[in-house]
Amino acid sequence: MATVAVPKFHKNFINGEWVEARSGRSFENRNPADHSELIGIFPSSTEDDVNDAVDAAKAAYAKWRLVPAPKRAEILYRAAETLVKRKEDLARDMTMEMGKPLSETRGDVQEAIDMTYYMAGEGRRLFGQTVPSELPNKFAMSVRDPLGVVGMITPWNFPMAIPSWKIMPALICGNTVVIKPAEDTPLSTYNLVQILTEAGLPVGVVNVIYGMGPDAGAPLVAHDDVMAVSFTGSTDTGRLVNQACASSFKPCHLEMGGKNIILVMDDANLDLAVEGAVWGGFGTSGQRCTAASRVAVHKKVYREFLNRFAQRVRALKIGDGLDPETEIGPLVNETQLQTVMKYVEIGKNEGTRLVVGGHRAESGRLATGWFHEPTIFADVNPKMRIAQEEIFGPVVALLPFDSFNEALEIANHVNYGLSASIYTRDVNLAYRAMRDLETGIVYVNAPTIGAEIQLPFGGTKSTGNGHREAGTAAIDFYSEWKTLYIDYSDRLQRAQMDTTEHS
């Protein structure tokens, strides 16, 4: 007789211990490819749990900030080594709770590995400046100081990569952390923090609270002892986070929505552009803030591109991400699926031409998951809602244009400014695009996805508020400058006033 697996009950991680939510409430984590499969049960935290976690982080900060950065780096390096060893298991866990194919979740874990190694390297840098003073016998320099307790709220589409983008630079700068991961993907954050703990991270330096945004996220953002907040999610929620931080002048990093575009010029390598549009539009089932949900194509090659693109997309295999043949996994939950279906109806009602897909995928084994067909709308007007609003699903709008200037106008005429790309063999157009596209990231002859961790990641307009993830830009957010003047002249010297005197 077969035995039924007992669901694994998880707890919050506060002050080095796994503890129940004070409310006693919990929520389920289910497999989006088969929502009858329960991955685990997680605590549904409230303000009381947030307070406990922040208290622990605040107490740990007093010692952690004094640990030399190279020693903090050694912990991160050990964690990276463990991530490498457990990569396959971590990727499988992520596919089961988030849905994207195993090839993609391996990449997600690799991004966490890359970020952890990178920030470990920064432990022996954290550069400041030394500059000559205008006065004699005076030394002038700047150093980086940590902020204190940092609150983090992370999304479900990159459930290990994005937490690592936030946690690792915060730690290397000497901060302590309270993180609330998305309720759809709590297991991956559990795995990441477990590995940091095994690597020797001191008690209270990283704390995890699970739960819903209004119950756990909001009190974390508003807590007086949280000195900075980093949020990745929707623009609407990001606006609320920003408003909550503004009253106390709390530094706030926002990484929000996108309505990204691929421009295909008439001289483009069409085979390459088609593959880029397929990967950019339908990778992670379109559930990326950098997804290429718009593809603008020069009218001279529009029909040929559309035919090739449609043929390629019709052949994509939908299914469970653990199946090595799967190219399109499920949406993360029923709400996201319903959002995609709503926008498909909006597109139809706006008078666009539905070329591929357009329906929920529910035949055979797909019936127990949240699947949607990869969908292409052709002949889309740039002002239509499906060309303006973030859908966050496997829906791509094709827009024709006559000239580069028109393409540029289409690209920039949205509220978001995260990522854009251009396919062309004309180096002059490529450089004009890099200069004139109003986005934080620009690709040439590559899709709008594929950022690397050693460079800044983020966008303009309603995508962000000026801060950046990754690279040394992340260190700029998780530290603050302290300027130091050391006067060894043994007399009063007045800057800007005694600069003509010499000794």
Give the residue extent of every domain in the chain.
12-256+464-483, 261-444
The strand pairing partners of 444, in sequence order, are 422
Taking each helix axis from N to C end, the angle separating 161-172 and 102-122, rounded to the nearest 10 degrees, works out to: 10
Q: How would you list the strands of the sheet with 17-19, edge to edge?
A: 17-19, 12-14, 206-208, 176-180, 149-153, 226-232, 252-255
Q: Which two tokens stand for residue 309?
A: 């693109």
Nearest of 415, 416, 320 to residue 367 by alpha carbon: 320
Q: Which residues are catalytic?
A: 255, 289
Taking the C-alpha atoms of residue 116 and residue 196, their distance in angstroms, rounded to an integer, is: 10
The total number of residues written for the chain in this structure? 503
Contact in structure between 389 and 350 (CB atoms under 8 Å): no
Contact in structure between 489 and 503 (CB atoms under 8 Å): yes
Q: What is the pTM of this model?
A: 0.94
DSSP state of 105: H
Cβ neighbours around 439 below 10 Å, total: 26
Contact in structure between 170 and 64 (CB atoms under 8 Å): no
- CATH T-level fold of 261-444: Aldehyde Dehydrogenase; Chain A, domain 2 (3.40.309)
Q: Could you state, in chain order, the average pLDDT of each consecutive group of 10 residues for the chain (503 residues)?
A: 61 96 94 94 97 98 98 98 97 96 97 98 96 96 98 97 98 98 96 97 98 95 97 94 94 95 98 98 96 98 98 96 96 96 96 95 92 97 97 97 98 97 98 98 97 95 93 96 97 85 52
Cβ neighbours around 315 below 10 Å, total: 10
Structure confidence at residue 7 (pLDDT): 62
Q: Which two tokens stand for residue 179?
A: 């993180």
The strand pairing partners of 229, in sequence order, are 151, 252
Helix and strand numbers (H, E) in the chain are 15, 21
Taking the C-alpha atoms of residue 49 and residue 28, their distance in angstroms, rounded to an integer, is: 18
Q: Are 12-256+464-483 and 261-444 in the same CATH fold?
A: no
In degrees, to the nearest 5, what angle opens at C-alpha 10 toward C-alphas 5 and 12? Answer: 180
Yes or no: domain 12-256+464-483 corresponds to CATH 3.40.605.10: yes
